[in-house]
Amino acid sequence: MKISIIGAGSVRFAQQLVGDIAQTEKLSKDNTYVYLMDINEKRLDASYILAKKYVEELDSPINIVKANDMDEAIEDADFIINTAYPYDPRYHEDGFQKWEIITRIGEKHGYYRGIDSQELNMVSTYTYLLASYPDIKLALEIAKKTEEKAPRTYLMQTANPVFEITQAVARWTRVKIVGFCHGVAGVYEVFTRLGLDSREVDWQVAGVNHGIWLNRFRYKGENAYPLLDKWIREKASDWKPKSPWDMQMSPAAIDMYKFYGMLPIGDTVRNGTWKYHYNLETKKKWFGEFGGIDNEVERPRYHEQLRNAGKRLIELAEEVQKNPRIMLTQVLPEIFKKGETSGEQHIPFINAIVNNEKTRLFLNVENKGAIKDFPEDIVMELPVVVDGEGIRREKVEPDLTERIKKFYLWPRILRMEWNLEAFISKDKRVLEEILIRDHRTKSYEQVVKVLDEILKLPFNEEIKKYYEI
């Protein structure tokens, strides 16, 4: 079996996947080949060195292969995990640097947190210039190569924006694409806060990526929402975040629950309306002392943490080359886990398909009737059962509330469609129309000025030409 990770220069994430494969008994075999591919040679080399050492420490016989190019990685692969983001070493150190520059320009023109901070899509580092041209372009290139060189494979979309990319590839290619996200894990924070045994909870979540809702919530056979209501009355006022990422039981989440009728899960809490995001003071009111992660203090700090962590992993790879006796599982056990897996859904999915092991997951696939009132071909995040026969959607029951559908999902789906329309039409006016609908916009001239300044940036030269055709 050949599993390819495209974008393996995301060193930490690649190691998590490698560790999961090596610690899944039925996949950890000497005929399992894991191909690592990235255009950033320095990061790829580090990922390869660390992965080789990691599987050795786990006493796994799987083979780690460094792919020289995308064709080699894709050729006859059984599973392709796409975690790649567009990278150009001429113009930026990393993807965050571009986003930070664009955000500063946006704020100069009156767009707090940048033009990509949009209603119901506040996770703004996952879009680029209102439409995700570079990300969709790269994903389609990978998908078209997959059509040619591995037509029966599953393309496992991990790089964001998962919603837009999975929809584009599903709509414009014949590839079997599935979108992956770990936001669903937010339900376990709910269970923990309420003191519930997760084994006794019957639950479902459904919606779109970064827009999912706890539609089914039963504990020991009874409706568990009254338990949440009791927690809100008695304990919600004492809630404090443990970190900028801790938002699942925040005042924003509770307020959304009261309006929509079901609890938002994971990143959905970040992706509410402007009610929760007008400024840092507002964010702190709804998300606690940190103001969540999507603000001018915590987001830059997080980017710096990621940069430092990446540098540390590259340095560690160099140290391992000099001293093979270094034990990764002892030096960085939070990354190089032994005796436990990462919690990501990718490898359980592969194991379910390959070894016909029935597994329940939450994946981004075409709706096909799972959620009523939405088109069959819209990609939605759904509860599914996976085994050797493929993917079977659970019926979403009880149905999502009318408010979730009308006030959240349909508007978010429209934003996805605007994004794809900008990409496919190559019409700059689509970008203008998206921004005109933003409540921060005071005039058409404001829209023209901010877009022109952003498009004139050196690293946006290709995008500028694309929208001038």
Catalytic residues: 182, 267
182: its two tokens: 């770990």
Distance CA 21, CA 32 (A): 9
Helix (H, G, I), strand (E, B) or coil at 363: strand
Residue 23 pairs in a beta bridge with none
| Count of Cβ atoms closer than 10 Å to residue 108 Cβ | 11
What six digits make up the tokens of 379? 């990609």
Do the bridges between strand 176-179 and strand 154-157 make them parallel or antiparallel, or are there none, so unpaired? parallel
Per-position DSSP letters for 228-253, written without gaps between them: HHHHHHHTGGG---SSTT--TTSHHH
Sequence-distant (≥ 6) Cβ neighbours of residue 10 within 8 angstroms? 38, 43, 47, 83
Instruction: Please give the angle made by the CA atoms of 301, 303 and 308, to the nearest 5 degrees.
Output: 95
Helix runs in 261-404, H state only: 280-287, 298-322, 328-331, 346-355, 402-403
> What is the DSSP secondary structure assignment for residue 213, as one 8-state letter?
E
Structure tokens at 371: 């959620």
Cα 384 from Cα 244, distance rounded (Å): 31
- Alpha-carbon gap, residue 147 to 173, rounded angstroms: 8
Dihedral of CA atoms 239, 244, 248, 252 in degrees, nearest 10, equals: 70
